[in-house]
Chains A and B, each alone.
Chain A
Amino acid sequence: ETGVTQTPRHLVMGMTNKKSLKCEQHLGHNAMYWYKQSAKKPLELMFVYSLEERVENNSVPSRFSPECPNSSHLFLHLHTLQPEDSALYLCASSQQSGLNTGELFFGEGSRLTVL
């Protein structure tokens, strides 16, 4: 069982819906991430939280809104999405040491379909 849990695993929503993706890590890490995985594209880093502060927002449209209430939980709030936002959204965590050594631990992803 992975140390990073994502819910829901599958989500279908209309363009006017509001939904949220949830991520929880049980590894005691202090950094959490949202990545977007679309077909035939590299994984795209969306948001990074380190010590519960947002440290990266890679020009992500405002219809995606992250929230990190504590070091174990990360949310991605979705509002007024477009069909091209359909993708696998992966959450990851790591222990931030300042040396940028990687080793992210990923969840199984939330498969989002926007109709």
Chain B
Amino acid sequence: AQKVTQAQTEISVVEKEDVTLDCVYETRDTTYYLFWYKQPPSGELVFLIRRNSFDEQNEISGRYSWNFQKSTSSFNFTITASQVVDSAVYFCALSGTDTGGGNKLTFGTGTQLKVEL
């Protein structure tokens, strides 16, 4: 069985602070994919990143960066110089290699990020 744990339920920061959202996962698959999605107040989940289990290189995209550590089964997400527009719920997700049809993701419970002026 797969599991994704986001221990931080809610984080509040002041604009321009850096913030890291934690994600720990469990899977028995040797090949798997990890994702981060952002859910703004409008409701739709917006895809941010996909990382496969064989690629442990960290990735940076603008103010966003991701740290994948297979040894600790973690895939943490850092926002540098946070802005009010970053306020949203962020979900970490995991998919395995079940090829029974469809891309079935296991989601964490999400972290509510509030960025204040």
Residues of A within 8 A of B (CB): 2, 4, 31, 33, 40-43, 45, 48-51, 53, 55-56, 88, 90, 92, 94, 96, 98-109, 111
Contacts and interface: CB of A to CB of B under 8 A. Distances in A.
Contacts, number: 89
A102 B44 contact: no
Contacts of B4: 42
Given A2-B44, A101-B95, A109-B43, A41 B109 contact: yes
Say whether chain B's binding surface is mostly helix, strand, loop, or mixed.
loop
A100 B100 CA distance: 9
Interface residues of B, number: 31
Contacts of B91: 43
B30 to A, nearest CB: 13
29 contacts: A2-B44, A31-B102, A33-B102, A42-B106, A45-B105, A51-B101, A55-B102, A88-B43, A90-B44, A90-B45, A92-B45, A96-B101, A96-B102, A98-B99, A100-B33, A100-B97, A100-B99, A101-B33, A101-B103, A102-B33, A102-B35, A102-B95, A103-B47, A103-B103, A106-B45, A107-B43, A108-B43, A108-B44, A111-B43
